[in-house]
Amino acid sequence: MSENKKKLRSQEWFGKTDKMGFIYRSWMRNQGLPDHAFDGRPVIGICNTWSEYTPCNAHFREIAEHVKRGVLEAGGYPLEFPVMSLGETLLKPTAMLFRNLASMDAEESIRGNPMDGVILLAGCDKTTPSILMGAASVDLPAIVISGGPMLNGKYKGRDIGSGTSVWQFTDDVRAGRITQEEYYYAESCMSRSRGHCMTMGTASTMASMVEALGMGMPHNAAIPAVDARRKVLANMAGSRIVQMVKDDVKISDILTRKAFENAIVVNAAIGGSTNAIIHLLAIAGRVGVELNIDDFDKLGHDIPLLLNLMPSGKFLMEDFYYAGGLPAVIKELGSLIHLDALTVNGKTMGENTENAPCYDREVIAPLDKPFKERSGIAVLKGNLAVDGAVIKPSAATPKLLKHRGKAVVFESIEDYHARIDDPDLEIDENCVMVLKEVGPRGYPGMPEVGNMGLPKKILEKGIDDMVRISDGRMSGTAYGTVILHVSPESAIGGALALVQNGDIIEIDTEGRKLHLEVSDEELATRKEAWKAINLGYERGYAQLYINHVQQSHLGADFDFLRGKSGAEVKRDSH
């Protein structure tokens, strides 16, 4: 037996002397596990979202090997296990539909198996929140390791960014500015190494949130996937989790209200994705931290944008790492951050960042000379979004942030695709494009379609932005004057469902207002006539999702998943 004083959770399996102990150990021995794997040393689970269907996470088996080195060096024993992997690009109808399902997989896999601490390997957008949500509901010691961003995309001598450049190239080819051959050529120029999207999209945002929350080791956010220092970080995290088990430092010791406030401030300073709102709300719901959508505006709206990264700026994650990474941003934010917040390496946020150097002020701007003023997410409210809608002003066209325009309504994404390039569509650049039925229940799964492309005839005029409103999300790599997450959503009869062609919509970002200029009486009449669309999901997970998903302003988690059940399992398997 090791010198650990406290009996570890894994000993509830491996420490038994009866029939159950035989069963728990014997089958594990078929993998070559030695006696000392069962002797009371910390058993560390490595929760792996590896999959070849998730290209952003396809290198994770290798990262896991470096975690194992660290665990073994520190006297623990590592056991790697797979959980559902959500590949953002391939998974239909949208990876977000399965975030909660993957979180359940992670939660039950962690709780039901012998482990004393867990390393969470995440990368592609939804893999980070899903396994962090699941792990939070068990509340063991845990460290998240992100897979790291791809190298900068390179196209004809210039940098191009994941996602962001897809939207640009697609507009270019539709407007005839590039050929179809150039469009194909750009595919391999953009994704040219292992790793996740290298813009400040949702994956990079969530990797940064992991670090800002204190759930990741310093520099977790930005080390490129191919940089050997990513392997070093994995090795260090493997060693550190063993000590966290010995010290009994659990997720709930790290994920405090202060940690979430830090994450909100950092998300504003880096120009992070609007998707972080939904994921942070869901994670907070699991650990029981009070957090609401207004906190993002209250705490983030005054924060200047320090990071000059696509889609809000011009650089990419590789440049961010070389410029000093997230510790340099946090150091710059100084007293805007709770520097006493604990992080997984056992130090406070202040201790981790006090000596962080910045090597490139063009990439990471100083606080007194930011890249843009006031970059945080704005939460708009009004009769069109009683519970809120969000906009990312740093990615929007400044003159459209205050706007009045005639609604052009698309009743569904299919309706949008069918009519957007119809030459007879009555639309000009002053109109407000409205898309319905893309919220959590409506799609279902709240897809990233909110940044719907502009009509071809408007693009051909050289105009590349219009106000767009929906109850959906947009990719963190996207940009434009796009109002998202309208809550309540149209599928449950929110006011968005009642908008008609020609209605006037007023957006006032500074005044935090989203107003449909239709009288209350008229809206009541329209509501009376409104009928919910039958989505046609009679069985299976989609039906469970529709029946239990909460609205976006609550994080779109399932109502029955909020909170935690802890790590205890009272019954044996046989």
* Binding positions for ligand FES, rule: CB under 6 A: 56, 88-89, 124-125, 162, 196-197, 201, 203
Within 10 Å of residue 530's Cβ, how many Cβ atoms?
A: 11
Residue among 203 and 498 whose Cβ is closer to ligand FES: 203
Confirm if 198 and 169 have CB atoms less than 8 A apart.
no
What is the C-alpha separation between 48 and 514, in angstroms, rounded? 42
The residue (of 44 and 280) whose beta carbon lies closer to ligand FES is 280
Instruction: Compute CA distances 374 → 316, 377, 506, whole Å.
Output: 21, 9, 22
Nearer to ligand FES, 56 or 67 (CB): 56
196 or 240: CB nearest ligand FES: 196
Closest separation between CB of residue 128 and ligand FES, Å? 9
CB 240 within 8 A of CB 347: no
The closest alpha carbon to 274, from 296, 298, 256, belongs to: 296
CB of 153 to ligand FES, least distance (A): 12
Which of helix, strand or coil describes residue 134?
A: helix
360, 324 Cβ separation under 8 angstroms: yes
Instruction: Specify the residue, 66 or 126, whose C-beta has the smaller distance to ligand FES.
Output: 126
Sign of the alpha-carbon torsion through 437, 275, 231, 242: negative
Minimum CB distance to ligand FES, residue 87 (Å):
7
Nearer to ligand FES, 14 or 315 (CB): 315
3-state helix, strand, coil in the chain (%, to 5): 40, 15, 45
Distance of CA 239 to the CA centre of its chain: 26
Shortest Cβ distance from residue 199 to ligand FES (Å)?
8
Q: Which is nearer to ligand FES, 162 or 345 (CB)?
A: 162
CB of 430 to ligand FES, least distance (A): 33
The neighbouring-strand residues paired with 46 are 80, 119
Nearer to ligand FES, 141 or 445 (CB): 445
Q: How far is the CB of 215 from ligand FES (least distance, A)?
A: 18
For the bound state, the minimum distance from the C-beta of residue 475 to ligand FES, rounded and expressed in Å, comes to 8
Nearer to ligand FES among residue 197 and residue 342 (C-beta): 197
- Min dist CB 206 to ligand FES, Å, is 9
Residue 350's H or E segment, with its range, is helix 349-353
State both tokens at 282: 């869901």
Q: How far is CA 27 from CA 20, 21, 43, 481, in A?
A: 11, 10, 16, 57
3-state secondary structure of 530: coil
| Distance, C-alpha 293 to centroid of its chain | 15
Nearest approach, Cβ of 97 to ligand FES (angstroms)? 16
φ, ψ dihedrals at 409, nearest 5°: -100, 135
For residues 143 and 277, what is the distance between their CA atoms, to the nearest angstrom?
21
117-122 and 77-82 as β-strands: parallel, antiparallel, unpaired? unpaired
Shortest CB 58 distance to ligand FES, Å: 10
Structural tokens at position 344: 């997984």
Nearer to ligand FES, 106 or 197 (CB): 197
DSSP-derived 3-state class of residue 553: helix
Residue 392 has which token pair? 């990312």
